[in-house]
Structure 1
Amino acid sequence: MSYFIDVILPLPLDKRFTYSVEKQEAEYLKRGMRVAVPFGKSKTYTGVVADIHQNPPDVYEAKPISQILDDNPLITNYQLKFWKWIADYYMCTEGEVLRAALPGAFLLESENIVQLLKKSGPEEYELTDEEYMVVEALQRQSSLKIKEVNQVLEKKKVLPVLNSLVEKNIVALNQEIYEQYKPKKIRFVRLSSEFSGEAAMHKLLDELEKAPKQREIILSFFSLKAQSTKPVKVKTLLKKSNSSASVLKSLLDKGFLEEYYLETDRMSYSGNTAEASLSFSDHQEHALTEIRSHFQKNEVCLLHGITSSGKTEIYIRLIQDVLEKGKQALYLLPEIALTTQLIQRLQNYFGEQVLIYHSKYSMNERVEVYRHVLKEDKKGRVVIGARSAIFLPFSRLGLIVVDEEHEGTFKQFDPAPRYHARDAAVVLANFFKSNIILGSATPSLESYFNAKHNKYALVELNRRYGNVLLPEIEIVDIKVKHKKKLMKGHFSDRLLEEIKAALKEEEQVILFQNRRGFSPILECNTCGHSPQCPNCDVSLTFHHHNNQLRCHYCGYHIAMQQKCMACGSPDITTKGFGTEQIETELKSLFPDHKTGRMDQDTTRGKYGYEKIINAFEQQEIDIMVGTQMLTKGLDFRHVSLVGIMNADNLLNFPDFRAHERSFQLMLQVAGRAGRTKKRGKVLIQSYNPYHQIIQQVSTNDYSGMYKDQLEERHNYKYPPYYRLIRFTLKSRDFSKTNDASEWLAKSLGNIFKENILGPEFPPVARIRNEYYKNILLKIPQQQSLGKTKTVVHKIMSSFRAIGTFRSVKVVINVDPV
């Protein structure tokens, strides 16, 4: 009797591959275990067992497997079912889903490079003879290819040895080894509570009469407190009083002053201690009761709560409900930047049960998180993560929270699977029969449409926590300001006035400009030439800090030009502006205040986000300039003013979602203002102040925007009335891209008639020397999605069979954002 297994390989192959196993192996193996298998002439891959059966393959002879890599399944049955759904729905292969779902360390391949993680000698570990040989070899040279490990051990099957070393955390596989980040703790001092009254203060000064240096520190402390409400840093106090750390230490020893660290105390300091922040307002209680009743009917729930209405506290209470039942909770966020603030809040309630999972984590950290969730141990009951966290091996998932569900960053662009984490989470919740809540102050049109048409339950929360008023929104017409010469750089007189007022009150300011760099276009005033990227169809962006012209698509860069490259004229100007230019202008306008910038250029490192957000929270930065990273649900206590530098470049974008997106972005960034007692202010600078979207933002009119946009979507056949599939063809040969896209559009048009748009060049038609062309397929509601995809698969098979189109890559994107 022969036994066989079907294996999912981490390759873009449409089918699973069948391998032969012996009877004992078949009895030992379970679905979800990893096996090392030969593939092709000489390669070895790690695959996942998807099925065990006795049917030999028809077309080829099944090869035997190389070895079994796991004692227990690493992938759950729920995951295998979920992967299959993602592959079918998003028209990709299970192998591509496998690559996205598992941390790379689980997918050993014959091309991997092995590196030593620890510098200590091999005698410190309990190692087998073979493991000892590998560690010893790695100490002589920094890295080895797996083929070289074969030679060291003089045998072919080395993957189990390496697996064991990876699990013992001794070696890593082709990856950067990150340093562990130590959060920066800032030392502050405050007066001991027993000296807070006036009489006690005088008594304290009398006691220090004979210790003039200590008395000097206390007097300096009082004068710093009188000047500012900010907490007093040890560094500032010593500088002001001209004293040494030993004098301060004696005051601390006597108990006159107390020291504390703001990093550890951060949340309690901002008025958010665990007990206090779970006191609910009546509106929150009402919303929570509604959500619980919808959960009992197992409905998907959409929470439409305005900015700062206390949605996070509701999620925390719902997570508590789930943990009490012994189940797991998943909290999805669109941006890594957001996890920084939330981790602290959730750890206040759930301690070490909270785990974090996102792409800035190193491979080994991701493996640890994966194993904690798989084992269902105490760590890992609550997982906070960006979109990839939906692939973790949950077995008792009770709740999924999708925060800021309208965000486009939930959609994966490259590589496949091009899934949307929000939509996939709804399906995942259905597999587990668990509850799911989607939350946003500005829900996506599709989700709101589903809620209005009874597919989802809708809960509204339209009061800010503590009845704080929504910020006052003022629109500044910069066309008029330019005419009257009331602009200083890119700042109108109104905006400068408000920034000065906010800084005078010792409050913070956020300025939003959705473009990084210093200036997007460099132009010659003599001949009009502007430097272009040689690999892409875009102008080079000027970055001031390193004096470079850089392409944001492919990374090409050259030094800043002193004269025009075309005519040699030195008369060059910059057009447009990015975050870097605003930061430079602010430094000259407000030299006494600290400005910070938050965009892709400043948050490159693993902890780039934390450092900037912490500095802003600890009031080390007075004015923060940023791109859309700043708009995502961050909670800053001291921000009273938000300025949107130019609303027009959001609106004038060639995309059917541009208006919805601009509304969401502007309203979200406005929501960062005035989140505590005092009402915040928002200034929107625009050349077109009477634009409908800007007017709707100023009155917080979500339903008006929803009705207008829905009507347009209906007229022009876009979601939520029609489903979309976008085909992007790309190749280095311009005419081949054209011919292939014409052929594909014609074949699709023969069947789907007028529901095919294109082929069209996208706004940027060449990236990294590849030419792009798009075709859009619109699918009406009554048309079967499954049958449509079957037809598309057939057309794509015919397309791939044409020899001349072999070099043209087709990217299929289902439900593009």
Structure 2
Amino acid sequence: MSYFIDVILPIPLDKEFTYSINSSEAAFVKPGMRVAVQFGKSKIYAALVTVVHQTPPIVYEAKEIEHILDESPIVTKDQLKLWSWISSYYMCTKGEVMRAALPSAFLLESETIVLKNENNTVDELLLKDDEFLVFEALQYQSLLRIQEIMNIVSKKNVLPVIKRLLEKEVITVQEEIYEQYKPKIVRYIKLDQEYKEEEALKLLLDSLTRAPKQREVLMQLFTLEAQTSKPIKVTELVKKSNSSSAVIKTLIDKNILEEYHVQTDRVHYEADTQYESKKLNEYQDIAFKEIKESFNTKDVCLLHGVTSSGKTEIYVKLIEETIKQGRQVLYLLPEIGLTTQLISRLQQYFGEKLTVYHSKYSVNERVEAWNNVKGAKSKAQIVIGARSAIFLPFTNLGLIIVDEEHESTFKQYDPAPRYHARDTAIVLGHMFKAKVLLGSATPSLETYYNAIKNKFGLVKLTRRFGNVLMPDINLVDVKTKYKKKQMTGHFSDTLLEGIQDALREKEQVILFQNRRGYSPVVECNTCGHSPQCPNCDVSLTYHNHRNQLRCHYCGYNMAMLLQCMACNSTELQTKGFGTEQIEQELKELFPDYKIGRMDQDTTRGKYGYEKIINSFEQGEIDILVGTQMLSKGLDFRNVTLVGIMNADNLLNFPDFRAHERSFQLMQQVAGRAGRTKKRGKVLIQTYNPYHQILQQVSINDFQGMYKDQIEERHQYKYPPFFRIIKITGKHKDYNKVNSAIDWLARSLRNSFHENVLGPEFPPISRIRNQYHKNILIKIPQKQSLSKTKDIIKKIHTSFATIKEFSGVRIIINVDNY
């Protein structure tokens, strides 16, 4: 009897593939296990089993699998269900979802290995020079990898050499699969059993009088053993005794010390003491009860609480209740930087029950978190993470919290799957019959609309914790200040006065500028030329600390120019300003104070965020300049002044969400001010103080903003009234992408008529030497979403068959906002 399995391969192909297995493998293999399979001529992949069956494929002969990689499933049935939903809703392949969902250690890759052919005698004279080099190397080495052969023959393309050697039967080739995950093994040390008796120990110490270093190691070992009951690490002993591992090795060789190894988790939290969670104040308590009531009838609830109203404490109470029921909690955050502050807060309440999962962690750390969640271990009852944590193998999920649900960082833009973590969380919650709580001070219009229309529950928290007043927000008219010569650099006299007052009171200041680097444009005063990126349609940004011009789209960089590239004039001037320039101006204006900067350039590395946030919390930094990373739910106790350096570049953006986004961003930044007893102050510098959105920000008028924006959305057919699918074509040839997308738009217009917008080139139409052209499809509420997607797929399939459009890459982005 024949047995078969269907597998998902981690490559962007739409269908599952069938492989054959024998009866004993069929009895062992279960959906969710990985098997190594050959796909194509020689490439081997780790594929994921979805189903075991007995129906052979019709079109092709099923190959046999290489071998089974797991002893038990690493992916649950619920996950496979979620992957199917993501791939159908966001119009991507299951292979792409698999690539995004699994830690890369689970996606085994294969590597070609070259071996000497032992069954053949070789006439060396018949070998060419490069062939002989490889042959000679194999006399000394049992095997060679492709990279090593490249180094030996000093060529990039070594496949012709390998092919010729294969034809001459000098070598054989095989694929080696290597598993990337390695468990962490820690070396521990203890005194040998023989010396546990006092007499034996005394004799031992006497015998070591002439080996002071060895004696010192033993003395330190006794001290450490007296201080703690935990086992002693070798590294710890080396550090304490100021010796080297060679000394310890000598003691091990003499059988005085005994070493042993223990497999441990890479991520563990040292929580000294556990605290009781704080008692809720009356407003929080009302909100908490309302959320629970809402959960009786609805699965999703929106908590609309102003900044600093104590939403986290309500989350803590809900987490406590969920854990008591023995269920898991997923806590999603928009930014990795936020996990830093939150972990230390939640650790005080939940100790070791926390697991953190995000992309700054190493591959091995992510595998361990994955295994802990799947095994429903006690240390993985609460999972905190950025959007990718949605893919973890939960077994008994009871509550999902999506904090700052309005944030655009919950949406994945590249590569596929282009999913939105908030919407996926709602589907995941539905699968587990878990409750979903969305929290925000400035909810997205779509979520708020759903809450008002009674699709979600709605709970409001309108008072700040401890009855602290909302910050006092003032608009500063920069145009008038420039006319009256009241500007120092990019600072108005009002803002400088505010900073001086705060520093005098030993308080901290946050300054927000949503642009990194020193200056976004360098211009020649003589001819007006400004250096552009050779790969993208943007001007290069000047970074002062490296003295270079950089492209923020593709990473291209060059040294700062000494003269204009067009006319050789030396009169170059920087225009506009970023966080780096603000930082430099502040250092000149306030030389006695410590200035910090938080943007993508300063937070690289795993602990980048942590260092800056910690030193700001501990008062080591007086003024912190930053980009939108600062706006996301961080809690600093001693900040009384927040300055927004330039509100206009947020508002003037070609996007239907520009006004909503800038309102959210400014409100969130403003919310960092005055979170304790003293009322905070916010100064917003702008050339247009009478702008509707700025007026609404200054009086915290979310309802006014919502009403204006929702009317506009209704009038111009945007979400939440219409859904949007964005289709982008990419190619390095301008004319090719132009004609291809024009054809696609015409075909779509035959089906969707006036609901197809475009095609048109975006403001930045070339990125990384690829031209982009966009089409927007608007889908009314009464139109079937699945039928619409089917039509788009059909048109896309016929597009792929047209020869002249080959090479044009089509990207489909569902709900691209």
TM-score of Structure 1 vs Structure 2, range by shorter chain: 0.7 to 0.9
**Paired residues for 1:492-571 under 5 Å:** 492-571=492-571
Q: Is the 8 A contact 1:327 1:398 kept in 2?
A: yes
Equivalent residues in 2 for 1:770-809 (5 A)? 770-809=770-809
Q: Deviations over 1:143-193 (max 9, x none)?
A: 999x99xxxxx996854xx44x8344489xxxxxxxxxxxxxxxxxxxxxx
* Aligned 8 A contact 1:302 1:437 in 2: yes
Structure 1 stretches lacking a partner, 5+ long: 114-136, 149-153, 172-263
Equivalent residue in structure 2 for 1:166, among 150, 158, 181: 181
- Are the counterparts in 2 of residues 298 and 434 from structure 1 also a CA contact under 8 Å? no
Aligned residue runs from structure 1 range 209-224, under 5 A: none
Residue in 2 that maps onto 1:98: 98
Q: Give 1:42 deviation, angstroms.
A: 0.6
Q: Distance in 1 between matches of 2:592 and 2:78?
A: 57
* DSSP 3-state at the match of 2:181: helix
The amino acid of 2:89's aligned partner reads Y
Q: Which runs of 4+ in 1 moved over 2 A?
A: 137-145, 154-159, 165-171, 264-268, 273-277, 296-299
Deviation at residue 750 of structure 1 after TM alignment: 0.6
Q: Is the 1:726–1:813 Cα contact (8 Å) retained in structure 2?
A: yes
Partner of 1:185: none
- Deviation string 1:689-741 (CA, Å, 9 cap, x unpaired) is 01000000000000100000001111111000000000110100110000001
Q: Which one-letter code corresponds to 1:14 in the other structure?
A: D
Which residue of structure 1 aligns with residue 202 of structure 2?
Answer: none
Residue identity in the other structure for 1:722: F
Shift of residue 561, structure 1, vs aligned partner: 1.4
Distance 2:728 2:625 in 1: 35
* 1:360 corresponding residue in structure 2: 360
Q: Is 1:7 equivalent to 2:14 in the alignment?
A: no
- 1:687-698 counterparts in 2 under 5 A? 687-698=687-698
Q: Within 1, Cα distance between the matches of 2:489 and 2:46?
A: 58
Contact 2:271 2:352 in 1 (8 A): no
Separation in structure 1 between the aligned mates of residue 474 and residue 430 of structure 2, nearest angstrom: 44
Aligned to 1:579: 579
Deviation at 1:31, TM superposition (A): 0.7
- Secondary structure at the counterpart of residue 503 of structure 1: helix
Q: Which amino acid aligns with 2:591?
A: P
Decide whether the 8 Å contact of 2:299 with 2:434 is kept in 1: no
TM-superposed deviation, 1:2: 1.1
2:237 aligns with: none
Alignment-mate amino acid for residue 790 of structure 2: T
TM-score (norm 1): 0.82
1:476–1:686 contact (8 Å) kept in structure 2: yes
Separation in 2, partners of 1:720, 1:460? 21
Deviation at 1:516, TM superposition (A): 0.3
Instruction: Give the secondary-structure state (helix, strand or coil) at the position aligned to 2:668.
Output: helix
**SS class of match (1:110):** strand
Any residues of structure 2 matched to 1:414-453 within 5 Å, and which?
Answer: 414-453=414-453
Tell me which amino acid in the other structure corresponds to 2:737: T
Matches of 1:666 and 1:265 in 2, distance apart? 34
- TM-superposed CA distance for 1:139, in Å, is 14
Cα pair distance change 1:330/1:112, threshold 3 Å:
farther
Distance 1:499 1:657 in 2: 32
The offset of 1:755, in angstroms, is 0.3
Q: Which residue of 2 aligns with 1:76?
A: 76
Q: Judge conservation of contact 2:294–2:457 (CA < 8 Å) in 1.
A: yes
1:53 matched to 2:50? The reply is no
- Whole-angstrom CA distance in 2 between matches of 1:305 and 1:367: 36
Which whole-Å CA distance do the structure 2 matches of 1:557 and 1:168 have between them?
39
CA distance in 2, matches of 1:275, 1:388: 30
SS at match of 2:379: coil
1:485 is aligned to 485
One-letter identity of the residue aligned with 1:521: V
Q: Deviations over 1:106-134 (max 9, x none)?
A: 11121499xxxxxxxxxxxxxxxxxxxxx
The unaligned stretches of length 5 or more in structure 2 are 114-140, 150-158, 163-171, 187-267
Q: Report if the CA contact (8 A) 1:309-1:465 is conserved.
A: yes
C-alpha offsets along residues 517-551 of structure 1, whole Å, 9 cap, x if unaligned? 00101111111111111111000111110111111
For 1:739, the equivalent position in structure 2 comes to 739
Find the counterpart in structure 1 of residue 768 from structure 2: 768
The match for 2:285 is 285
* Structure 1 residue 653 corresponds to structure 2 residue 653: yes
Offset, 1:606: 1.4
Shift in Å, 1:562: 1.9
Contact (CA 8 Å) 1:31, 1:73: kept in 2 or not?
yes
Partner of 1:714: 714
Q: CA RMSD in A?
A: 2.4
CA distance in 1, matches of 2:341, 2:406: 19
The structure number with the bigger radius of gyration is 2
Q: Secondary structure at the match of 1:44?
A: strand
* In structure 1, C-alpha distance between the alignment counterparts of 2:46 and 2:601, rounded to whole Å: 36
Quote how far apart the aligned CAs of 1:569 are.
1.6
**CA distance in structure 2 between the partners assigned to 1:741 and 1:780 by the alignment:** 23
Q: How many residues align?
A: 691
1:267-282 matched pairs, under 5 angstroms = 275=275, 278-282=278-282
Q: Partner residue of 2:369?
A: 369
Q: Which residue of 1 aligns with 2:39?
A: 39
CA distance in 1, matches of 2:181, 2:503: 52
Task: Tell me, in whole angstroms, the C-alpha distance in 2 between the residues paired with 1:140 and 1:42.
Answer: 17
Query: Cα distance, 1:574 vs. partner?
Result: 1.1
**Which letter does structure 1 place at the counterpart of 2:450?**
N
Cross-structure match for 1:681 = 681
State the percentage of identical aligned residues.
66
* 2:668 counterpart letter in structure 1: Q
1:607 CA drift (Å): 0.8
Q: Which residue matches 1:118?
A: none
AA aligned to 2:631 is: T
Query: For the residues of structure 1 that align with 2:404 and 2:143, how far apart are their CA atoms?
Result: 48
1:616/1:622 contact within 8 Å kept? yes
1:387 and 2:372 matched: no
- CA distance in 1: counterparts of 2:622 and 2:63, whole angstroms: 65
Does the CA-based 8 Å contact 1:138-1:144 persist in structure 2? no
Q: Is the 8 A contact 1:509 1:641 kept in 2?
A: yes
- What is the distance in 2 between the residues matched to 1:141 and 1:802? 40
- Aligned in 2, Cα 1:50/1:277: closer, same or farther, shift over 3 Å? closer
Query: Relative to 1, partners in 2 of residues 1:275 and 1:347: Cα closer, same or farther, differing over 3 Å?
Result: closer
Deviation at 1:360, TM superposition (A): 0.6
Distance in structure 2 (CA, Å) of the matches to 1:292 and 1:560: 59
AA in 2 matched with 1:52: V
Alignment pair present for 1:63 and 2:63: yes
Matched position secondary structure for 2:395: coil
In 2, Cα distance between equivalents of 1:366 and 1:84: 23
The aligned residue for residue 702 of structure 2 is 702
Query: Hey, what's the Cα distance between the residues in 2 that align with 1:714 and 1:155?
Result: 63
1:246-276 Cα distance to aligned partner (Å, 9 max, x none): xxxxxxxxxxxxxxxxxx99999xxxx9758
Structure 1 counterpart of 2:458: 458
1:667 paired with 2:667, answer yes
* 1:560 positional shift: 1.1
The corresponding residue for 1:201 is: none
- Going from structure 1 to structure 2, the CA distance change for 1:299 and 1:527 (only over 3 Å counts) comes to same
Q: How does 1:625-664 map to 2 (within 5 A)?
A: 625-664=625-664
The 1:524/1:144 distance shift into structure 2, 3 A limit, reads closer
Aligned ranges 1:465-480 → 2 under 5 Å: 465-480=465-480
1:343-387 residue CA offsets vs partner (Å, 9 max, x unmatched)? 101111111110110001110000010010011111111000000
Query: Matches of 1:155 and 1:66 in 2, distance apart?
Result: 16
Determine the C-alpha separation between the residues in 1 that align with 2:287 and 2:271. Answer: 25
Q: Secondary structure at the match of 1:356?
A: strand
Corresponding residue number in structure 2 for 1:618: 618
Structure 1 distance, partners of 2:816, 2:766, is 20
Q: Corresponding residue for 2:294?
A: 294
Give the match's secondary structure for 1:64.
coil
